[in-house]
Structure formats: C-alpha cells, structure tokens
C-alpha cells in the first residue's frame, strides 16, 4: 500500500447562497485546492464528486459532476459521481484514498458540493426524506411542505432517550451548540459565527422537543475539495501535505456504523482514541456529538454529557471536538460535509487555524455519518490524518 497524502485543500464560505449553484461552488473549492497543492490540473487523473440531493433540489441528476466541471480544466479527467446521503463527501474520499493507496493513480480530486437553499423551500426538506426508508415513511404528497428536516424527528427521539436513560439535561445539548459556535467565530468560512449563550440556545424556538433551533444544523450551501496524491507527487510539487493514514466505511446493517467504522480505522492505523489531538464529529444535531464521544472511545456509554460539562472537548481540553464549528455552526451542506471535515483537520495539522488552533496537533480523526435506518446512521466514514 502506498502512503496517501492530502496535498491541497479548498473550501467556499458555507452559508445561504441562493442561486449560486453547485457548479460555481465546486469550481471555487477546486481552484483553491489546486493552488494550495501547487499542482497542475493536467496532473489530476480522476475526480470523485460527492453530492447528495441535487437530483431533487436543482433537478440535476445522473451527471452532476460532469455538468459542474464541464467548463473547467478538470473536465477531461475520469469522473465518478458519488451519492451516499450526508456521507457523500466522505465516501468520495474513501474511493479516492483507495485509488492512491493501490497505485492506480498518482493524483485525484475529491469534491463535495451542495446547493440546499432554493426558491422552493419544500425541495431541500422533501429531498431529505430520501435519507431513510421511503416505504416506512411514505412518499411526499404533491405540494407537501415540510416544516423541518425529517432527520430532526429521528434525532429528537434518540435525544429524549439519552436524557431518560443517562440523567443528562437539555442544557448539555445546549453546551455542545455553544462550544461549537465559539469555535466557528474563528472560522471565516463558517455559516453561523455570532456568539450565543446557554440561555440563547435553551430559549430559542423549539423544532422537535427537546431540540431547539440552535441544536439543529442549518440549511447550508457550500463546497470543499481535496487534492489527494502519492507521497512522491506531493514532494515533487513542494506541497504542505498531511498524511491520510486511512479511511474506512461501515454500514448500519452491522450494528452501530460509527463505532464499527472507527474500530476498523483504529485497527488499520494501529492507534486508539487516546492518540488523537482533535476530532471532527458528525453533529447534525447537538445530541449526536454527545453520543459519538462514546462511539469513538472518548468515554464510556452514556457519559458524553460529563465530557461536555468538564470542558474536555473544548479547544484547550483533553480532546477538542469540532474546532471548525461542526455541522451546527460551520454548516451542513450534506454532500460537502465529509470533505469540509478533512479541510479543517488539514488546516489544524498544518498549524494554520489561527484563533481556533489546537496547539501541537499531530493526529486527528473525522467521522462523517449518512442517512438514517433503525435508530442510527445508515453508514459512517472514519478517516485518520497525521502531520508529516
């Protein structure tokens, strides 16, 4: 197996960019990644394009990546579209990792891009219905207007179960939202950066009890791109590269996909949870982050709220989590999220994160979840990065 390097990263501002479109978002991120790697577009042999819901939101189906890059220098590279719910970006990364590790390619571009905001506000919410089993929930009726993401109903159920089982308090979920917003204040690409207090979060509009609006990820547009390559290519270009040690996928059919994906990634890398300086976890809703603390091995089952109360996952704590602001504040443009997590970890491992920098960061973990089946994600992608 060849070593795999992340040589270049690029990311748009995440936010509400009504009408900007997947094409413009993707190209902005791609050009930034190429420049960052000091690379040439002609060297890129393959493109893996992650997108979750363009087929419904913008009605661009089937050849999403080819359309996005049709006027770009990468339009001649072999391109594969990857759709795997909210883990589309992480899944595209996994395929790109395998291409470099196997020697099938020396340089590839991994892209995650999503335009969620639309003049027809029912489109993104109805698109999210497809992230679970439609036979279970039924098709959306013509003209049906959802008030919020169906996924928040699922998160609310597991959140209430967590409160009832482990004696936590809704204020613990609010602490996650406050922490991640504090981090996002130092991330110029984050969707939501204005400070918020515990009272702000707890007294905000209720979406689905016990989740208030700031405990739920916003409807976000954005793109992130990663130029991954062989060690030799990175050295030849003089890139400030970070090693992508491994990336592994697990399906919910096996049980707990986060726990399973992380376990096989740890085994492949020969490390454990105590070896990480920071993590980006999939906090599409605040309780998800608390539960993932146990799933990735930071604490025992049901003790996530203890960590957030102690400040263990703050910047400066034992293992900082979601220094980017996470999905709650950086934003969650579905197909772009998995790539955006890697952008943050690369920036951190390079020591370029400015006001949110984790001192001495050398090893990091990202967990990207996707879809929802049987009380958990339908799949999860775990990626480990290391400072060279």
> Hey, which residues are catalytic here?
86, 332
369 backbone dihedrals φ, ψ, rounded to 5° = -100, 160
Beta-bridged to residue 118, according to DSSP, are none
Give the whole-angstrom CA distance, residue 284 versus residue 287. 9
Q: Which residue has the tokens 């991954």?
A: 228
Q: Which two tokens stand for residue 339?
A: 């790539």
- Report the distance separating Cα 335 and Cα 77, nearest Å: 21
* Distance in angstroms (rounded) separating the CA atoms of residues 220 and 324: 15
Q: What is the DSSP annotation of 141-169?
A: PTT---SS-HHHHHHHHHHHHHHHHH---
The answer to whether 90 and 247 are in contact (CB under 8 A) is yes
Read off the tokens for 151.
Answer: 């996924």
Q: Is the dihedral of CA 341, 342, 348, 352 positive or negative?
A: negative
The Cα–Cα gap between 332 and 47 comes to: 22
Structure tokens at 140: 């959306």
User: Strand 78-82 relative to strand 46-50: parallel, antiparallel, unpaired?
Assistant: parallel
Q: What does the alpha-carbon distance between residue 8 and residue 14 come to, in Å, rounded to a whole number?
A: 19
Rounded Cα–Cα distance for residues 5 and 93 (Å): 12
The two tokens of residue 349 are 């491992």
């Amino acid at each position: 197996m060849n070593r795999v390097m992340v040589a270049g990263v690029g990311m748009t501002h995440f936010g509400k960019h009504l009408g900007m479109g997947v094409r413009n978002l993707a190209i902005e991120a791609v050009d930034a990644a190429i420049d960052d790697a000091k690379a040439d577009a002609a060297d890129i042999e393959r493109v893996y394009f992650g997108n979750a819901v363009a087929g419904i939101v913008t009605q661009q189906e089937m050849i999403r990546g080819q359309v996005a890059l049709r006027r770009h220098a990468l339009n001649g590279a072999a391109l594969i579209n990857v759709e795997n719910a909210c883990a589309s970006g992480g899944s595209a990364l996994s395929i790109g990792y395998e291409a470099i590790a196997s020697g099938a390619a020396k340089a590839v571009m991994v892209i995650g891009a999503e335009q969620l905001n639309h003049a027809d506000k029912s489109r993104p919410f109805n698109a999210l219905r497809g992230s679970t089993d439609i036979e279970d929930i039924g098709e959306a009726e013509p003209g049906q207007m959802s008030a919020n993401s169906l996924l928040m109903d699922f998160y609310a159920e597991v959140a209430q179960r967590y409160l009832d089982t482990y004696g936590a308090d809704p204020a613990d979920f609010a602490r996650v939202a406050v922490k991640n917003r504090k981090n996002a204040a130092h991330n110029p690409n984050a969707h939501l950066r204005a400070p918020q207090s515990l009272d702000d979060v707890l007294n905000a509009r209720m979406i689905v009890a016990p989740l208030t609006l700031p405990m739920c990820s916003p409807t976000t547009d954005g793109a992130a791109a990663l130029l991954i390559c062989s060690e030799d290519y990175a050295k030849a270009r003089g890139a400030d590269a970070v090693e992508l040690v491994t990336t592994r996928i697990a399906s919910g059919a096996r049980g707990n996909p986060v726990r399973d994906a992380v376990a096989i990634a740890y085994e492949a890398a020969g490390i454990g949870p105590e070896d990480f300086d920071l993590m980006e976890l999939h906090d599409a809703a605040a309780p998800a982050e608390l539960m993932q603390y146990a799933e990735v091995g930071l604490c025992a089952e049901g003790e996530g709220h203890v960590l957030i109360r102690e400040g263990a996952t703050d910047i400066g704590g034992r293992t900082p989590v979601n220094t980017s602001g996470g999905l709650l504040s950086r934003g969650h443009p579905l197909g772009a999220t998995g790539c955006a997590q890697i952008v943050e970890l690369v920036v951190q491992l390079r020591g370029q994160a400015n006001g949110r920098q984790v001192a001495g960061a050398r090893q990091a973990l990202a967990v990207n979840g996707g879809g929802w089946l049987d009380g958990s994600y339908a799949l999860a992608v775990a990626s480990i990065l290391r400072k060279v």
